[in-house]
Amino acid sequence: MPRKNKVLWTTLIVLVLTTLYACRDFSFKNLNAQIYYDYKVAIGETSTFNYTHSLVEPILSKFNYKQLHFGKWILTGLFIIAFFLTNHFAAKLFNDPKLFRTANLALYTIIILIACALYTAGNYLIPINLMQFIQSPMPIMILTIGIRAYIKNNKVLNR
């Protein structure tokens, strides 16, 4: 890929990842604020302030606690898919896109399986952090460094 196209792709991917992360952060902060508010109202605390953003509060207030909690799972799935696909298309930046796509798929699969196993075993905190990790730009950063080091190491060993 020509250098000019590589810079364009890199810039585009950074913008997409930044936008996705900002949308994810905004969505989950407001969902959590609304869930917290609904919980406090349900236990009788009427003096609780609703910290949900004023633009989304009218939408979120139409849902009950269980619906909002289920909505978090749907959003988690959608953001995981969005970040995975962004990372998948980022493979164009590498000399070995098949290696990057395979590593990306393996990373996401392993993390999701570990998170599901821990969640079903009764652990909640670690799976949440694992899900937050794969819904961020961190996997592409780790894969970029790791694959570039792997390719460079193979070139040195094959000389």
Q: Among 16-20, 64-68, 149-153, which stretch is predicted with the lowest mean pLDDT?
A: 149-153
Rounded average pLDDT over 72-80: 93
* More reliable by pLDDT, 41 or 130: 130
In eight-state DSSP terms, residue 48 is -
Distances (CA, A) of 59 to 10, 30, 65, 79, 129: 35, 11, 13, 20, 27
Rounded average pLDDT over 71-86: 92
Q: What is the pTM of this model?
A: 0.82
* Token pair for 5: 């196209």
> Which of the four pLDDT bands, split at 50, 70 and 90, describes residue 45?
confident
Q: How many domains does the chain fold into?
A: 1
Nearest-angstrom CA–CA distance, 154 and 15: 31
What are the tens digits of pLDDT across the range 91-122? 777 767 888 889 889 999 999 999 999 999 98
Cβ neighbour number for residue 146 with a 10 Å cutoff: 13
Domain that holds residue 41: 3-157
So what's the pLDDT on residue 39? 85
What are the tens digits of pLDDT across the range 5-34? 778 888 888 899 999 999 999 999 999 988
Handedness of CA 40, 46, 47, 52 (dihedral sign): positive
Identify whether the C-beta of residue 88 lies closer than 8 Å to the C-beta of residue 101. yes
